[in-house]
Amino acid sequence: MKFSVLCNTIFNRSIDSYHQFDDVNHEFQNIYETNTIEAVLYLKNWIDTVQWHFEDIIRDPNINPVDALVLKRRIDKSNQDRTDLVEMIDSYFLEKYDDVSKLPDTTINTESPAWAIDRLSILALKIYHMQVETLRTDISAEQKQQCVNKLNVLLEQQKDLSTAIDQLIEDIEAGRKYMKVYKQMKMYNDPSLNPVLYAKK
């Protein structure tokens, strides 16, 4: 099975599972075996899905400012969790292809497999929610057609990105490309590097 097919299948299961409850506070339960790449991909998309809804909620112009601050903290944590999982996915590929011999003309890619997979996860969410928009009965025919057009573009983008991810993994496996992963080192989450935080010590 192509890795993109595995990803898209798992992402769709995660999105469908979340929307059975449609509640950002619903307790997460992983349907895949612990310590597998499938479990990591499922958790990754679940976090993306919850954050998608966080972002909707915080844009409510009538949100209580105290609630908004609490939600902003949850979004910050979610962003860190997402980054940690992307790095975990890249570690999976680094370990899997650690013994691959590089070809003499091997090149590095502009992004790692996991960061492309991160975009694929978000794309699955865009497709799900745009599909919902195409089914609305309270909008004009013109708006509905605009949503259909956007959905078609998103589906084409998903196909292209899936192909690119599979090609990148195949190139890494064959030694035509190599991975070099850098930690994100987000400074605003580090009390020793964020000047607002360390100035208060």
The whole-number average pLDDT for the span 169-181 is: 94
Residues 130, 132: Cα–Cα separation, whole Å = 5
**Torsion angle of C-alpha atoms 88, 44, 119, 68, degrees rounded to 10:** -120
Confidence label for 180 from pLDDT (cuts 50, 70 and 90): confident
Residues 195, 13: Cα–Cα separation, whole Å = 41
User: What's the confidence (pLDDT) of residue 140?
Assistant: 96
pLDDT tens-digit readout, 81-125: 999 999 999 999 999 999 999 999 999 998 999 999 999 999 999
pLDDT tens-digit readout, 145-164: 999 999 999 999 999 999 99
Judge contact between 50 and 56, C-beta under 8 A: no
Judge contact between 120 and 4, C-beta under 8 A: yes
Residues 58, 67: Cα–Cα separation, whole Å = 9
Residue 129 has pLDDT above 80, yes or no: yes
